[in-house]
Amino acid sequence: MADADLIQSIQSGDEAALEILIHRYYDEIFQYIYRIKGGNEEAKDITQDVFMSMMKALPSYKEQGYFKAWLYKIAHNRCMNSFRNQNREVYITSEEQVEDFTKVYVEQAFIQEILDSLPQMQRSAIILKYYHGFTAKEIARITGVSTPTAKSRLFQGLRKLRKALQKGEFDSEAYKTDK
């Protein structure tokens, strides 16, 4: 069932359509927020907030084929608001660290750390492109900037990521050699 049909069904009170829509988008919106904000509980709260906002906007929403981008725009705005209004929480809690400290986890934490080191807007652009498959033009719409600005953020972000990854690899190789 296409998004447009789901929206129409929800607007006319179909609860099953609502469930399908949530199952379709919850995970990816949660992951987008998680990668930007870094905290599990906070990501859950913001995801909840995003869908509540979506629901409130549905009565006056006119579907034109880009529901997904609209949903991401709400998510992006919520994340940016959250950055403005509170200090960032530590992205790995001690409990999480104890839970699983495998090599994969360390690598993933390293990627999250590198993502966190990027400026918010560059991070958002990179995540939207590489994890959610949006084009520069779509990213520009979601983040409310011009396409050249979105492209520039992607370029700058990618350059910083490459540098950080290279440095990280170099450091870990040097560490192995020392041992």
Partner 1 sequence: MRRTKLTNDDVETKLRAYQIHADVKEGKRELIEQLKTMMPVQQESHAAVLKKLIHQSVVELLTRHKLQWIVLIALLYFGFSASLHMKDERIFSLFLSPLPLFYLGWHVIKTNDDGMRELEATYKYNFQQLLFARVVTLFALSMATYTGIFGGVLLLHSSLSLTQNFLLIVQGLTPILLIYAIFLKMSIQYRGRSSWSTLFLIWSCFTIFSIYMNESIFFFHMKSASYILLNIVLLALIMYQWIKIWRMERISYDSF
Binding site for partner 1 (CB under 8 A): 10-13, 15, 18-19, 22-23, 26-27, 30-31, 34-35, 40, 43-44, 47-49, 51-53, 55-60, 64-66, 69-70, 73-74, 77, 84-85, 107-108, 111-112, 126, 130-131, 137-138, 141-142, 158, 161-162, 165-166, 169-170, 173-174, 177
Smallest distance, partner 1 to C-beta of residue 69, A:
6
Nearest-angstrom CA–CA distance, 148 and 60: 31
Residue 27 beta carbon to partner 1: minimum distance, rounded to whole angstroms: 7
Residue nearer to partner 1 on the CB measure, 97 or 166: 166
The per-residue b/e assignment along 43-77, b for 16 or more CB within 10 angstroms, e otherwise, is beebbebbbeebeeeeeeeebeeebbebbbbbbbe
- For residue 48, the minimal CB distance to partner 1 (Å) is 6
CA distance 44 to 52: 12
Cβ proximity to partner 1, 22 vs 94, nearer residue: 22
Q: How far is the CB of 178 from partner 1 (least distance, A)?
A: 11
What is the DSSP code string of 101-144?
--HHHHHHHHHHHHHHHS-HHHHHHHHHHHTT---HHHHHHHHT
Q: Which two tokens stand for residue 139?
A: 């990213």
Gap between the Cα atoms of 113 and 141, Å rounded: 27
Q: Which is nearer to partner 1, 19 or 89 (by Cβ)? A: 19
Nearest approach in angstroms of CB 148 to partner 1 is: 15
Closer by beta carbon to partner 1, 35 or else 153: 35
Alpha helices in 38-119 (DSSP H): 40-57, 67-85, 94-99, 103-117
